[in-house]
């Protein structure tokens, strides 16, 4: 009961609450019995919340660097590499003829149209003439049999080994800025060229996320590797801190995601 109250207090929607309760129950049973188990795919926010509730769980999305991941538990006798067979997470490669014809939204829409729930789909990596789709292993055969097109474009599907997929790094523009301190409002002000007052207003109104969780405190201190999202403006990451300048300001390099 205490666990459910904790989850209810953290979640913004009933759907999110029910999902996290279901995932927590499954993983806690596995931990108690020393068994392996994994969840559906979770958003970065859901992962951050679950990490606070179950600090001992881990996350994986089929390859390194994925954004949408399953939460999992492996007992000591079972390695992550041995657990994650293609029956847990599969990767489907879909090829199409016309270059740059499909977007992430097109492919996701085709998956939803085929009756696949969003939580069963991980990252979708788009290339010029193909895309790679991570899905729960239990849906691999259904997807191969039923996903034939996206929009007006025919798809040719094949199963590939998730371990061979290398997700391209997300493009970003680097900028060196100086701030009076590492307060959240100051860093947002410097990175997005806003007044500090405007940055604080955005934070207090719930439009800023720090490491996937809403942060309402303008004076919250940030650290290297933190990711900050500002609704309607974009997402940035603190890449490195460079110490104090001669004018006693803090210098840092940030990356603005493109």
Q: Which domains does the chain have, with CATH numbers?
A: 2-83 (3.30.1370.160), 89-164 (3.30.70.330), 172-257 (3.10.290.10)
Question: For position 112, what pLDDT does the model report?
Answer: 94
203 pLDDT more than 90: yes
Question: For position 100, what pLDDT does the model report?
Answer: 83
pTM, whole model, 2 decimals? Answer: 0.87
Question: For position 9, what pLDDT does the model report?
Answer: 83
pLDDT in tens, 71-94: 999 999 999 999 999 899 999 999
Average pLDDT of every residue of the chain: 93
- Neighbour tally for 84: CB within 10 Å: 21
Q: Looking at residue 65, what DSSP letter applies?
A: T
pLDDT tier for residue 1 given thresholds of 50, 70 and 90: low
Question: For position 12, what pLDDT does the model report?
Answer: 82
């Amino acid at each position: 009961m205490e666990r459910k109250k904790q989850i209810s207090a953290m979640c913004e929607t009933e759907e999110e609450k029910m999902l996290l309760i279901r995932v927590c129950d499954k993983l806690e049973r596995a931990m108690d019995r020393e068994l392996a188990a994994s969840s559906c795919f979770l958003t970065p926010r859901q992962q951050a919340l679950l990490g606070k509730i179950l600090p001992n769980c881990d996350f994986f999305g089929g390859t390194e660097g994925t954004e949408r991941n399953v939460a999992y538990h492996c007992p000591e006798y079972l390695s992550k590499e041995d657990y994650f067979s293609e029956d847990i997470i599969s990767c489907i490669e879909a090829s199409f003829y016309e270059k740059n014809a499909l977007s992430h939204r097109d492919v996701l829409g085709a998956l939803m149209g085929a009756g696949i729930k969003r939580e069963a789909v991980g990252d979708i990596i788009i290339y010029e003439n193909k895309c790679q789709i991570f899905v729960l292993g239990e849906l691999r055969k259904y997807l191969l049999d039923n996903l034939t097109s996206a929009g007006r474009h025919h798809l040719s599907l094949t199963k590939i080994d998730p371990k061979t997929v290398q997700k391209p790094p997300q493009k970003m523009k680097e900028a060196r800025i100086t701030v009076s301190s590492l307060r959240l409002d100051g860093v947002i002000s410097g990175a997005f060229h806003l007044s500090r007052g405007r940055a604080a207003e955005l934070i207090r109104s719930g439009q800023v996320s720090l490491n996937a969780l809403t942060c309402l405190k303008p004076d919250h201190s940030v650290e290297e590797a933190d990711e900050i999202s500002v609704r309607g403006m974009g997402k940035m990451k603190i890449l490195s801190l460079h110490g104090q300048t001669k004018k006693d300001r803090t210098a840092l390099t940030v990356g603005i995601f493109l």
